[in-house]
Amino acid sequence: MSVIAIDIGNTRLGAGLFEEGAVSEPAQRITHDEIAERLDDLLRSLWAQSHKTADDAAETATPEAIVIASVAPQLTPTVAQAVERICGQRPKIIGKDMAIPMQTALTDESTLGVDRLLAALCTYVNTQSAAVIIHCGSALVVDAVSDDGVFLGGSIGPGLQMCARALHQNTAQLPLATLDEPTETFGRNTLEALGVGIYAATRGAIRELVERYAEKIGHWPHVVGTGGDAQRLLPAMGIVDSLIPDLVLQGAALVWEHHAMAES
């Protein structure tokens, strides 16, 4: 069973080919600004990967589905139309064509981003225990799943780049900070001070939230990191069990497999 999964995030689009739930090729990513120029080539590349010869008899296999998970609804029709044009298949939109098979403890699910629930689903399927998922992207999102697989909710705050832009745009003299890891404890100039402050605030928020979640859950959970800034933020903290860049894409592939099995 193979599926092409597409994740339209707040600033980037990612896509990958999955076979039996596992990514068969590293996911490809482009920014929103690159969609008009690069999306068709990205889709052609994935389509070609999915049609590699299966054996010496040169058998080919067409993906059973193409699924889209999107938190950027203004781009969903554009991407869906490109999929139909390049691949000749109508994509399945998660949340519209397929529900995500996970219970929540939320008071209002109507505004929950599918990326958060897909990441939680994939994490729980892999761990079968309470977990915390840290999304380090445009926003810093820290979510929790209970031991019995219920999405408990979480927190949403500004990501690294959003912090840097906010400080620059809402002050008269502060420059736009770089996002390089600070090497000094004390910022010895304004740029260094911005870096120290942004990283300390972000990591401090993450640590406090994970500790509070663990107290509420009753034990230390499995902690997973994902998102474009996860690699630069999380390893040094010593609290993350694994970094999974393609967590949302894997969750999208799992949703398709669940629905395909239910219908068979």
Please list the active-site residues: 115
In this chain, the answer to whether the domains covering 2-98 and 114-245 adopt an identical fold is yes
User: pLDDT of 152-186, one tens digit each?
Assistant: 999 999 999 999 999 999 999 999 999 999 999 99
Residue 14: which of 256, 245, 254, 264 has the closest Cα?
Answer: 245
Residue spans per domain, the chain: 2-98, 114-245
Q: DSSP string spanning 15-72?
A: EEEEETTEESSPPEEEEGGGHHHHHHHHHHHHHHHHTS--STT------SEEEEEES-
Topology, domain 114-245:
Nucleotidyltransferase; domain 5 (3.30.420)
Report the DSSP pairing between strands 131-136 and 222-226: parallel
143 SS3 class: strand
CB neighbour list of residue 107: distance below 8 Å, 6 or more residues apart: none
User: pLDDT of 105-161, one tens digit each?
Assistant: 999 999 999 999 999 999 999 999 999 999 999 999 999 999 999 999 999 999 999
The answer as to CATH 3.30.950.10 being correct for domain 2-98 is no
- Residue 56 predicted with pLDDT over 50: no
